[in-house]
């Protein structure tokens, strides 16, 4: 609380103390007048009995009114002090929360932001400022959509609509233009607060991770062998361009499909049996097989291998098949 607020508070309660003093002085004055009137009634017999009785009745009445006013004034003063203490406590909690939030935003390594319904950012963390390279004034005064890659703006606006409906967002990715004109890929987790009219968001910079994945995929797509990766349920999670071409489709159309739908009945049984052996032994398995490539029966040397997570659990199964039929290569 600053000095001016403290001064207003002192003036406010000084007013109530002054009211109590005035009421007290009024009661004393009434009692003094009553005493003077009683003395006058004795010294000056000209005062009639009716006047004396009226004064005797009015004096207690006025005194009671004064006492009631004094008591009411004291109650109001106590009530005002109680309400003031509650307000002061709430202000103190709000100030403490604001200080905590500011410190958290300044030390957090996550990229954090608070966005309003007007399309502007209301608060940004130091890590977001450092990642994008803009100063805080630019980030808070520019509509945040202007920083988003044009190809990602539509999906971002749809994500915001879902947030406004109360749906939390986890792992939403878009690209933000940095001050050096490059784009950073950010993975967002966000939620909206309808009462406050803001959206709270936290992001991770996954630019290097995505660049690494792109480079690896380019290497795999340049390789002459067939590569297929499925999860433990048989859903395709990755493949290379050579595998997609071998069955006459695109890589993107294969992702998310069940691998067993792409295989003949005989090959399906053979692969399933070998995959179970790999899972059981936790070791790669290499074997010869004949695959149908664009209508031709081609002999391949294939290896099925397990893929582990950092805890040592098998999370995926990979298969690499290399064409070993030179005559088929010349035909294709």
Q: Per residue in 58-84, pLDDT tens?
A: 666 665 665 556 555 555 666 666 676
Whether residue 3 is predicted with pLDDT greater than 50 in this model: the reply is: no
Q: How many CB atoms lie within 10 A of CB 275?
A: 19
**Each residue's pLDDT tens digit, 223-237:** 999 999 999 899 999
Q: What is the pLDDT of residue 10?
A: 46
pLDDT range class, residue 317, cuts 50, 70, 90: very high
**Each residue's pLDDT tens digit, 20-49:** 565 666 666 666 666 666 666 566 555 555
Q: What is the pLDDT of residue 106?
A: 67
Query: With contact defined as beta carbons under 8 Å apart, do 182 and 192 qualify?
Result: no
Query: With contact defined as beta carbons under 8 Å apart, do 275 and 302 qualify?
Result: no
Report d(CA 281, CA 66) in Å as an integer: 98
Tell me the β-bridge partners of 188. Answer: 172, 203
pLDDT mean over 259-288: 80
Query: Structural domain boundaries of the chain?
Result: 3-106, 108-205, 216-331
Parallel, antiparallel or unpaired: strands 285-293 and 296-308: antiparallel
- What DSSP character marks residue 75? H
**Could you give phi then psi for residue 34, rounded to 5 degrees?**
-65, -45
Q: What is the pLDDT of residue 291?
A: 84
Query: With contact defined as beta carbons under 8 Å apart, do 302 and 288 qualify?
Result: yes
Query: With contact defined as beta carbons under 8 Å apart, do 11 and 78 qualify?
Result: no
Domains 108-205 and 216-331 share a fold: yes
Q: What is the pLDDT of residue 133?
A: 95
- Top-tier CATH class for 108-205: alpha beta
Whether residue 57 is predicted with pLDDT greater than 80 in this model: the reply is: no
User: How much is the mean pLDDT over the chain?
Assistant: 80
pLDDT range class, residue 271, cuts 50, 70, 90: confident
Report d(CA 140, CA 129) in Å as an integer: 11
Q: What is the pLDDT of residue 74?
A: 57
Lowest mean per-residue pLDDT among 75-79, 123-127, 187-191, 208-212 = 75-79
Residue 37 or residue 303, greater confidence: 303
- What DSSP character marks residue 144? G
pLDDT range class, residue 259, cuts 50, 70, 90: confident
CATH number of 216-331: 3.30.450.20
Whether residue 13 is predicted with pLDDT greater than 60 in this model: the reply is: no
Q: Is 117 helix (H, G, I), strand (E, B) or coil?
A: coil
Query: With contact defined as beta carbons under 8 Å apart, do 250 and 244 qualify?
Result: yes
CA 212, 216, 217, 219: dihedral to nearest 10 degrees?
140
- What DSSP character marks residue 182? -
80: nearest Cα among 142, 159, 14: 14
193: nearest Cα among 119, 114, 124, 139: 114
Whether residue 50 is predicted with pLDDT greater than 90 in this model: the reply is: no
Whether residue 214 is predicted with pLDDT greater than 50 in this model: the reply is: yes
- What DSSP character marks residue 168? -
Whether residue 248 is predicted with pLDDT greater than 80 in this model: the reply is: yes
- What DSSP character marks residue 259? G
What number of H helices and E strands is found in the chain?
A: 10, 10
Q: What is the pLDDT of residue 206?
A: 96
């Amino acid at each position: 609380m600053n000095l001016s607020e403290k001064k207003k508070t002192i003036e406010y309660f000084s007013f109530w103390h002054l009211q109590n003093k005035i009421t007290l002085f009024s009661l004393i004055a009434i009692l003094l007048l009553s005493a003077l009137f009683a003395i006058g009634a004795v010294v000056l017999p000209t005062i009639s009995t009716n006047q004396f009785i009226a004064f005797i009745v009015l004096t207690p009445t006025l005194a009671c009114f004064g006492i009631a006013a004094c008591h009411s004034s004291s109650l109001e003063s106590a009530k005002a002090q109680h309400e003031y203490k509650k307000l002061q406590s709430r202000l103190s909690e709000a100030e403490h929360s604001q200080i905590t939030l500011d410190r958290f935003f300044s030390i957090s390594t996550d990229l954090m932001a608070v966005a309003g319904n007007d399309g502007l950012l209301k608060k940004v963390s130091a890590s977001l400022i450092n990642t994008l390279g803009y100063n805080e004034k630019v980030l808070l005064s520019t509509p945040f959509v202007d920083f988003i890659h044009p190809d990602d703006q539509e999906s971002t606006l749809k994500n915001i609509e879902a947030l406004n409906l109360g749906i939390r967002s986890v792992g939403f990715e878009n690209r933000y233009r940095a001050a050096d004109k490059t784009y950073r890929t950010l993975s967002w987790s966000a939620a909206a607060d309808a009462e406050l009219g803001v959206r709270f968001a936290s992001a991770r910079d996954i630019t290097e991770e995505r660049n690494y994945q792109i480079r690896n995929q380019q290497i795999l797509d340049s390789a002459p062998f067939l590569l297929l990766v499925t999860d433990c349920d048989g859903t395709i999670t990755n493949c290379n361009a050579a595998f997609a071409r071998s069955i006459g489709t695109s890589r993107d159309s294969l992702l998310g499909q069940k691998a067993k739908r792409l295989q003949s009945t005989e090959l399906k049984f053979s692969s399933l049996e070998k995959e179970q052996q790999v899972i059981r032994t936790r070791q790669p398995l290499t074997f010869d097989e004949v695959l149908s490539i664009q209508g031709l029966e081609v002999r391949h040397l294939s290896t099925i291998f397990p893929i582990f997570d950092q805890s040592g659990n098998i999370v995926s199964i990979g298969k690499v098949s290399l064409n070993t039929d030179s005559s088929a290569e010349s035909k294709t």
